[in-house]
Homo-oligomer: A and B are copies of this chain.
Amino acid sequence: MTAVLDALLTALGRECVRIGSDIPDRNFGDASGARQHAPLALLLPRSTEEVSRCLAICHAHGHRVVPQGGMTGLAGGANPQENEIALSLERMTGVEEIDRDSATLTALAGTPLAVIQSAAEEAGFLCGIDLGARGTCTIGGNVATNAGGNQVLRYGMTRRNVLGLEVVLADGRVLRSLNKMMKNNAGYDWTQLFIGSEGTLGIVTRVVLALHPSPKGLTSALCAVDSFGDALAVLRRFDSRFPGRLLVFEAMWREYMDVAIDRSRLTQPFADRHEITLLIEAAMGEDPGAEDAFGEALAEFIDDGVLKDALVAQSGNDRKKFWAYREANYEFGRVLPEGSHFDVSIPLSRMAEAVDLLRQRCARWPNATLIVFGHVADSNIHLSLCDESYDDAVGRAMNEVVYGVVAEVSGTVSAEHGIGVLKRPYLGMSRTEAELDLMRTLKHALDPKGILNPGRVLAPA
């Protein structure tokens, strides 16, 4: 154990290798509440070359390494396990280039997402990746977890925004494809393998992102529908009428709105309460009349009976009020008892059935609150199941019930948060044994000693 530390200190110096009380608490664990440990050492490389040296030494000693970004993950993937060495990308920050003609941005992996968003905006573009943790999460972590967020409907998951990567393999070898082109079929696109691999196959050190034109004519509405079928009809009609302009299509089921109104004391937005409240945003463009067309479409949907009610934002302040409903869940922890929280996807054609089944099965906790909300256009819902009686055993039972329903409707146990350590026990509910076997084959091929983030995603070999 001291041999690997000695080798690291000799090669990289005290500036890059922290031990004992020099390691800040933030490197002990992520935002998931999963079990935390102090790492054996914290490595703070300043360059790809230093990341490479760190990994080459750990690999030579067969020592386990946990890569760390902004520590905002929700699956425990970046929490050190006992005796692991943490390698944080926090010193490798900065936007290195914005290529305006190619509409690309190149950044070091430790760059916070918000810094990338600002740089893109200053250059007249939009970064397609956005999520609540934008101020703290890093682009390397976004790539490693294939982060989702608020604009997936329009710009896709992180995967779709990545054009090029630089990655350091477990043994220190550096792979570099800082591709700026939309099309590149020169052999296997190996970068795909590392996107969403949660630090288990390599450490991302540099990222090339495709940028998008800044959305113009942002319009927002809060709408009410009677059923998920009507929500889908609104989505399809809107998308067909204004192709490519929808940015946000979020749904909050009635129990969610009840908690927001009755416990978090937000104003009831409509005269009546409805099965689902939708938050819809679109970039209508610069055309004169384009923003009016948005309201006109909603009025037509109300006439047709597919929408029950709708409010169109007349100001930035209105827009903030609408988002307050969707973001109310950040504070639900204060008004609800403890519970289990889920990030699942359900095929849209089975979403209504899934919510019905969840309501039925969760009735075995008669006083529990089940809230359902999320990025439904992407098939992604978040669930919380909270109860005064909550403890570890109840939590496990809740997981079994919820993931059971998800499996029954061909859903997935992780939509955007990843597997980490917390969801590993449930991965087999969304993947066949043949798929898991292939994942193990890939892991073994790229990291035969199993030193990179072992036990995350897959059980240790």
Contact = CB atoms under 8 A, between A and B. Distances in A.
Contact of A101 (B176, B188, B348, B457): B348
Question: Which label, helix, strand, loop or mixed, suits the secondary structure of the A interface?
Answer: loop
- Which of under 10, 10 to 19, 20 to 34, or 35 or more describes the interface residues of A? 35 or more
B241 A412 contact: no
Contact of A419 (B181, B185, B446): B185
A287 interface: yes
A43 interface: no
B419 A379 contact: no
A289 interface: yes
Nearest to A419: B187
Contacts of A415: 181, 183-185
A182 B379 contact: yes
A290 B438 CA distance: 49
Interface in A420-443: 423, 427, 430-432, 434-439, 441-442
A417 interface: yes
A82 interface: no
Interface string A175-214: 1110111111111111011011100010000000000111
Contacts of A88: none
Contacts of A212: 243
Number of copies: 2
Interface string A202-246: 000000000011111000000000000000100010011111110
A285 interface: yes
A193 B188 contact: yes
Interface string A343-357: 001111100000000
B184 A188 contact: no
A101 B186 contact: no
Contact of A380 (B154, B183, B201): B183
Given A243-B244, A349-B102, A183 B152 contact: yes
A311 interface: no
Contacts of A413: 186
16 contacts: A153-B182, A156-B160, A156-B182, A175-B435, A175-B438, A176-B434, A177-B432, A180-B347, A180-B379, A182-B378, A184-B415, A188-B442, A192-B192, A215-B243, A243-B244, A441-B445
